[in-house]
Chains A and B, each alone.
Chain A
Amino acid sequence: MKVAMFQQAPYRFLPEDFEQHWSPAVTMPYRRLADARGMTATYHQMLDELLLGARSGFDGVVVTEHGQAAYDISPNPSLFAAVLANTIRTEGLDAALIVLGRSLGKTREPLRIAEEYAMLDVLSGGRLVAGFPVGLSYDANINQGIPGVDTRGRFHEGYELVRRAWAADEPFAFNGRYAQYAHVNLWPRPVQEPHPPLWFPGSGNPATTEWVLDQDAAFVLLTWFGVKMGGAGIFDRFWELCEEKGREVNPHRVAVVQVCAVAETDERAEREYGPWLQKGFRHGPGILAPHLFLQPGYVPLRGLQGMLRNTGDPGIVARLRTVEFAELQREGCVIVGSALTVRERLEAVCREMKVGNLLVMLHMGEMPHELARKNIELFSAEVLPHIKGMWERDGYEHRWWPTGVPATAEAVA
């Protein structure tokens, strides 16, 4: 198993009662809620924590893209990734650079994404994982003005263009439905051969996971609800589908986010981190109003009918504004405790769901920088060594991980 540190860029100085008055994305007023000092501290602390993770033995660092969002002020994660790539190179760190990623359903410049990823692969010495999300509806449709019904079409066309632009021996003209280019001749190209590992984040929609399996790529369950609750039903279906398609059932095909917090004892961990994690969820993307979260046209009619007909008990998902830490802990949305507790629970849940890439989220919301550092240090020292390589020891090959610079290229350098 690979264990990477997943980090977003939540504004760290939101008012205490933020969730009572404001939306976590699209509409929250910048001038009223944020300022230059807070934004600067947010970015610097976030990058410092990611670098601490990369220096502490994590297999990788993960960044995401969200525009006009208070819970992740990351309109272009390639910029964070470029900063990280340079440090990874200069310090000789063996950490993958996992960008989850630039959204092809949102962008009007798909070729730019091919270029940015190629640059990042070069800068990081072949350590890029190229993530391709469709993009959340509020971000693609509202923030970027893409009609909802076009989101998926743009994603697929953009992905085809990126793959061609990376692979082509000769320049080519691209006559797409959404993008046209007279002469595609990409400089640079990724250094990994034939291309960086391809990871596709999603929410577990069966049509998406099936498509990911057909690409023989990795599927990322991008959720805050954790392996157990977020993955309930989704991973079972995924592995069934994997077998049906005659693909090797290999846990490294799957990545998932898990919020974790480690302290000296269970009691101390709950006391120190609990309030911050609770607030993180209360201020997080889960409280975004449904009509903004899903714009008309983003979900096809049949899928929408299915969603609206099958409204079972939504549990805590429907009441995140008032969610309590104890519930988050009970449902497995967060795994908080002593190193031993966290290690055992992580191992159990990753075994059960066959998760081969664990993306641990060790900072949330307004959690203070020093506490986040403590979490990273304790996790990397006392949890990480025990769970790293879990599936490799069982003989599973990892074909979805960066290879570094091929030997031939290194010799030239």
Chain B
Amino acid sequence: MATVPGVREEVVRVWGDRVGLRVQVRGGGPPLVFLHPASGLAWDPFLEELAEARTVYAPLVPGTSMEDPDAIHEVRDLAELVMVVQEGLLALGLQGADLMGSSFGGMLACELQATFPGMFGRQVLLNPIGLWRDDAPVANWMMTAPQDLPALLFADPSSPEAQAMFALPEDHVEMADAIAGMTWALGCTAKFVWPVPDRGLARRLHRVTAPTLVVWGAQDALVPAVYAEEFGRRIAGARVEVLEGCGHVPQVEKREQTLALVREFLG
């Protein structure tokens, strides 16, 4: 992913100097850590608007940067990823910062909170993965044909917001690189959740003490909305908001509503 105007990237050496954790930063104000979904980081209007009042720090899962694809091989499993990201955030002085995560990133936020209780601030989970119910299995995004992804991610795949998310550059080389980059990012994040996105988070969620807001799209076809209740039940005091007419990406499909909830919750 090309760096966006207004976004700077810091490379923090972590993990015994084996990994350069790339953290993209935008905006000003109190820090807010954003943990990206499985397809990698995209600076969308939601993050832009948040960056008006907060400094958004977005660490990239190692390997998901086009600059350093082999970094994924330095992180063996989810437990190591959690420590890699925690080292990076501490190195940037982000102890106590609020966390927000979308999908894969929501799971990562919970893992950070469960592994290091009290180290970070409040957290916002946008349709996180990480739990599994046999009666409502999480859909397999890795086996979904590209043309079927919009319907998996959006309640209304024809909306301009959904279309914009899947827009590709017109230039042939740029388009090839964009597809390759997103595919590789999916490959990198899959290392921590494939083949079934359940690494035992359900057994750790009781350790999360951070005030938590769970936002979910009622029509999420990827992670059914029953999981909103699962997260709500397992994280003490969590507030759950289920949005109608919304799929897996509330920050895109219901941006204003999601922004209002997040602003109110984070203060």
Report which A residues bind B (CB closer than 8 A): 26, 141-142, 145, 147-150, 153, 177, 289, 291-292, 295-298, 300-302, 304-305, 307-309, 311
- Report yes or no: B145 in contact with A291, Cβ–Cβ below 8 A: yes
**A308, closest chain B residue (CB):** B176
Could you say which residues of chain A place their CB within 8 Å of the CB of B183?
296, 304
Contact of A147 among B177, B181, B190 (CB under 8 A): B190
Give the distance to chain A from B108, nearest Cβ to Cβ, in Å. 16
- Report yes or no: A149 in contact with B73, Cβ–Cβ below 8 A: yes
**A142, closest chain B residue (CB):** B143
Give the distance to chain B from A2, nearest Cβ to Cβ, in Å. 38
Give the distance to chain A from B198, nearest Cβ to Cβ, in Å. 12
Greatest chain A CB density within 10 A among B73, B183, B188 is at B183
**A27, closest chain B residue (CB):** B143
Could you tell me the dominant secondary structure of chain A's interface residues? helix
Could you say which residues of chain B place their CB within 8 Å of the CB of A177?
76
Contact of A291 among B143, B172, B191 (CB under 8 A): B143
Query: With A and B bound together, what is the CA distance between A177 and B191 in angstroms?
Result: 14
Any chain A CB within 8 A of the CB of B173? yes
- Report yes or no: B188 in contact with A149, Cβ–Cβ below 8 A: yes
- Report yes or no: B180 in contact with A308, Cβ–Cβ below 8 A: yes
Could you say which residues of chain A place their CB within 8 Å of the CB of B143?
26, 142, 291-292
Give the distance to chain A from B40, nearest Cβ to Cβ, in Å. 11
- Report yes or no: A296 in contact with B142, Cβ–Cβ below 8 A: yes
Greatest chain A CB density within 10 A among B179, B194, B196 is at B194
Give the distance to chain B from A145, nearest Cβ to Cβ, in Å. 4
Query: With A and B bound together, what is the CA distance between A142 and B187 in angstroms?
Result: 12
Given contacts A291-B143, A291-B146, A308-B176, contact A301 B181 (CB under 8 A): yes
Contact of A150 among B146, B177, B191 (CB under 8 A): B191
Query: With A and B bound together, what is the CA distance between A36 and B180 in angstroms?
Result: 42
Report which B residues bind A (CB closer than 8 A): 63, 66, 69-70, 72-73, 76, 142-146, 172-173, 175-177, 179-181, 183-188, 190-191, 194-196
- Report yes or no: B69 in contact with A147, Cβ–Cβ below 8 A: no
Could you say which residues of chain A place their CB within 8 Å of the CB of B180?
301, 304-305, 307-308
Interchain Cβ contacts under 8 Å between A and B, 7 examples: A142-B195, A145-B195, A295-B190, A297-B187, A304-B183, A308-B177, A311-B176
Give the distance to chain A from B178, nearest Cβ to Cβ, in Å. 9
Contact of A296 among B66, B145, B173, B187 (CB under 8 A): B187
Give the distance to chain A from B214, nearest Cβ to Cβ, in Å. 27
Query: With A and B bound together, what is the CA distance between A292 and B144 in angstroms?
Result: 8
**A303, closest chain B residue (CB):** B180
Could you tell me the dominant secondary structure of chain B's interface residues? helix
Sorted from nearest, which 7 A-B pairs have the closest CB atoms?
A: A297-B187, A145-B195, A296-B187, A308-B176, A296-B186, A301-B69, A304-B180
- Report yes or no: B179 in contact with A308, Cβ–Cβ below 8 A: yes
Given contacts A291-B146, A305-B176, A308-B179, contact A297 B188 (CB under 8 A): yes
Give the distance to chain B from A27, nearest Cβ to Cβ, in Å. 8
- Report yes or no: B194 in contact with A147, Cβ–Cβ below 8 A: yes
Query: With A and B bound together, what is the CA distance between A305 and B63 in angstroms?
Result: 15
Query: With A and B bound together, what is the CA distance between A36 and B187 in angstroms?
Result: 37
Could you say which residues of chain B place their CB within 8 Å of the CB of A307?
180
Could you say which residues of chain A place their CB within 8 Å of the CB of B187?
147-149, 295-298
Give the distance to chain B from A117, nearest Cβ to Cβ, in Å. 27
Give the distance to chain A from B22, nearest Cβ to Cβ, in Å. 14
Given contacts A142-B143, A149-B73, A177-B76, contact A297 B172 (CB under 8 A): no
Could you say which residues of chain B place their CB within 8 Å of the CB of A311?
176
Query: With A and B bound together, what is the CA distance between A149 and B191 in angstroms?
Result: 7
Query: With A and B bound together, what is the CA distance between A141 and B188 in angstroms?
Result: 13
Query: With A and B bound together, what is the CA distance between A304 and B63 in angstroms?
Result: 14
**A152, closest chain B residue (CB):** B73
- List 7 extra interface pairs beyond A289-B145, A291-B146, A301-B184, CB under 8 A: A142-B143, A148-B194, A150-B191, A292-B143, A296-B142, A301-B69, A304-B180
**A298, closest chain B residue (CB):** B187
Could you say which residues of chain A place their CB within 8 Å of the CB of B177?
305, 308-309
**B194, closest chain A residue (CB):** A147
Query: With A and B bound together, what is the CA distance between A153 and B73 in angstroms?
Result: 9
- Report yes or no: A309 in contact with B172, Cβ–Cβ below 8 A: yes
Could you say which residues of chain A place their CB within 8 Å of the CB of B176?
305, 308-309, 311
Contact of A297 among B66, B179, B181, B191 (CB under 8 A): B191
- Report yes or no: B144 in contact with A291, Cβ–Cβ below 8 A: yes
Query: With A and B bound together, what is the CA distance between A301 and B65 in angstroms?
Result: 10
- Report yes or no: B195 in contact with A148, Cβ–Cβ below 8 A: no
Query: With A and B bound together, what is the CA distance between A318 and B57 in angstroms?
Result: 43
Could you say which residues of chain B place their CB within 8 Å of the CB of A295?
142, 187, 190
Give the distance to chain A from B176, nearest Cβ to Cβ, in Å. 4
Contact of A149 among B72, B142, B144, B173 (CB under 8 A): B72
- Report yes or no: B142 in contact with A300, Cβ–Cβ below 8 A: no
Given contacts A296-B183, A304-B183, A305-B176, contact A147 B191 (CB under 8 A): yes
Query: With A and B bound together, what is the CA distance between A309 and B183 in angstroms?
Result: 14
